[in-house]
Structure 1
Amino acid sequence: MPVIDINTDTENLTMTVTAEFAAPIERVWHAYSDPRQLERFWGPPGWPATFHTWDHTIGGRADYSMTGPRGESSRAYWEFLTINEPHGFTVLDGFSDDQGKPNADMPAMRMEFAFEPTGDGTRMVTSSHFDSLEALQQVVDMGVIEGTRAAMSQIDAVLHDLREYAQGKGTRVEYLDDTHVSITRLVDGPRDLVWRAYTEPELIKQWMLGPDGWEMTECEVALKAGERYRNSWAPVGDTEGEPFGFEGETLLVDAPRRAVQLERMQGTDGPDILNDMNLYEEDGATLVTVLMEFPDKDTRDMILATGMADGMESSYQRLEQAVLTV
């Protein structure tokens, strides 16, 4: 976890975040000065950021939004006040409306990013300065402390070469909290083809099979928000098990980057599981990240105990073959 401390000072009206990275200062600077890399960790899991404008000059402005799994959107901006490559920069950070104009009803703050080399990496100290105690408290009440920790947990994958970070490590499951799990798998193929493998029935049937001995008997895709989908599986030959399936609703589609769906077991009234799938490509390989949201800890533990991750790994191995042969 890169974040080692978050401190709020109600007397001086500041919030200070201290983090340490196993990467040189120039690499950390690049992650914070390239909007495409910044997008990968500035928003917390489930609320990825998209930078719509980026003028990285003193007096310049960056406009961005964060989009939730059900299509909710929050817009904000940075105005660059100082830039001192690679040691830091200062911005005025505030919320904006749908037209990009500052939202006077929401707090704004001056944020100072300071980077310094350490013996084995880089330390970052971010100091946010508020105009009033009410503004500081409003941001805290919005969950910025928890959101910052969750967002920064994603930066390790950004600071390292993607293949170095994930190749050969299989399907990895990370418990984020009692109701959220992040599942990652590097697929050796470009994002456009991985997206096709996730959205075209003839390809889905080639790889989304779980362990050996199962076949997909039904595959109805939903490629627009509000549409419903349905997938079914059955054992083949001497394989033990009963046919089963999942059905649900697509909540958000941002092709070929992101798809969010609600899922439940066929023939039941729930519970619904939210699957937020994101694809990121680097050097011809695609990192698949699935954020799963469960209604409670018991449901999380019950589903993961079924061997879901092992089944996903078997499927991802087939996916690589399906992608490479498209």
Structure 2
Amino acid sequence: MPVTSVEKDLDQLAITIVADFAAPLRRLWDAYTDPRQIERFWGPPTYPATFLRHDALAGGRSVYSMTGPEGDVHYGCWDWTSADAPHTFEVLDRFSDAAGVPNPDLPTTRMDFVFEETSDGSRLKTTSHFDSLEQMQQLLEMGMLKGTREAMAQIDQVLADLAAFATERGAQAQILSDTQVRVARVIRGTVDQVWRAHNDATLMKQWLLGPDGWSMPVCEIATAVGDSYRYEWQREGGEERFGFTGELLESEEPYRAATTETMIGMDFPATLNEMTLTEVEGGTLLSLVITYANAEQRDAVLATGMTDGMETSYQRLEGLLQPTLA
């Protein structure tokens, strides 16, 4: 059991939980900042979590759901107020709706996470701060401590699972909901390099090609929020051609970009694509959350082999980045 102490400070309106782990400091930090990993332990076993957004940096946001045994779904969000990798981060934890809009009728908790190296591995000290004794008591009555203990008991298993999150692992698609899919892949390169590779037309034409045998004759990049982009691919030696267009909705260089995406010449609903880049040990975690109009569209796109095409492109990208890292 990783939790070694729980301290309630009624004067300071705070609860501090200390947990020790037989894993390196960086491994523990990455478990909290990687959405694929934190969702395996943030909720207790009876209320597993799914992170729909996870921006592990100051000014970022996280949105997550927790699904109960009866199929009931509850949502929460974090506003990241500070982050100093791999030592500390602070968030405001709120109850919210599915879109991440906070519920003003339920308490907001300020949470400090402090990561320390120990002789046997690493230690995490989590302090939850409350606005009032009534708020503190309300959350305790809702089972906060029991749920936290059960949730943290799952962390050791996640930390030991090196294969599922290895740098060598290819792109993986995970269904998050009826309309959302997350494609994740660790790219061997820095956050700045991976961001530039998605925003430099010359580079994009070299790697964003999907399966072999295609070229990218059109690569018009959106450089500012509100701008449109247009990408087109053509089969080499043939007339077959397809492409996508859309609008840049958000851009937080070099960590996050959100765009719409519509297939040119097709009457399909536009998707929302949210890309987040996170520094992890061994490279940059690229997390792409795609929101479709419905489950039918989601399944139809996945059936095209989209993930395999993305993996081929990411392998090319790493080939471009490796000489610069040598």
Q: TM-score, normalised by structure 2?
A: 0.61
- Give the letter for the 2:174 counterpart: E
User: Is 1:78 aligned to residue 110 of structure 2?
Assistant: yes
Q: What does residue 174 of structure 1 align with?
A: 174
8 A contact 2:255–2:277 mirrored in 1? yes
**Residue in structure 2 matched with residue 322 of structure 1 by the alignment:** 320
* Alignment correspondent of 1:211: 211
Of 273, 276, 281 in structure 2, the residue corresponding to residue 275 of structure 1 is: 273
Match of 2:310 among 302, 309, 312: 312
Partner of 1:229: 229
Cα distance in 1 between the residues matched to 2:124 and 2:284: 31
RMSD: 4.3
State the Cα distance separating 1:243 from its structure 2 match: 0.5
CA contact (8 A) 2:92 2:111 kept: no
Q: Which residue of 2 aligns with 1:112?
A: 145
What amino acid is the match of 2:278?
Y
> Are 1:211 and 1:314, in contact at CA under 8 Å, matched by a contact in 2?
yes
Residue 297 in structure 1 maps to residue 324 in structure 2:
no
Deviation at 1:254, TM superposition (A): 1.3
SS in 1 for 2:194: helix
Aligned to 2:284: 286
CA contact 2:260–2:272 (8 Å) conserved in 1: yes
Instruction: Give how far 1:163 is off.
Output: 8.1
Residues 96-115 of structure 1, C-alpha deviation per residue, up to 9 Å, x if partnerless?
xxxxxx9xxxxx74543777
Once residues 146 and 125 of structure 2 are traced to their aligned partners in structure 1, the CA distance between those partners, rounded to angstroms, is 5
Equivalent residue pairs, number: 246
CA 1:185–1:222 in structure 2 vs 1: closer, same or farther (change >3 Å)?
same
Q: Return the offset for 1:176.
A: 1.6
Give how far 1:255 is off: 1.2
SS of the aligned residue for 1:210 comes to: coil
The structure-2 alpha-carbon separation of the partners of 1:201 and 1:158, relative to structure 1 and needing over 3 Å to count, comes to: farther
- Contact kept in structure 1, 2:167 and 2:282, CA below 8 Å: no
Partner residue, 1:26: 21
Shift of 1:275: 1.1
C-alpha change, 1:86 and 1:299, in structure 2 (3 Å) is same
Q: Which amino acid in the other structure matches residue 21 of structure 2?
A: E
Q: Report the TM-score, using the length of structure 1 for normalisation.
A: 0.61
Identical aligned pairs, as a percentage? 34
1:164 to partner: Cα distance: 7.1
Whether contact under 8 Å (1:88, 1:114) holds in the other structure is no
Give the counterpart letter for 1:283 in structure 2.
E
Report SS of the residue matched to 2:51. Answer: coil
Deviations 1:67-126 (A, max 9, x none): x9xx9775954167xxxx9697562457xxxxxxx9xxxxx745437776xxxxxx4379
SS in 1 for 2:205: helix
Task: Give distance in 2, aligned partners of 1:115 and 1:86.
Answer: 16
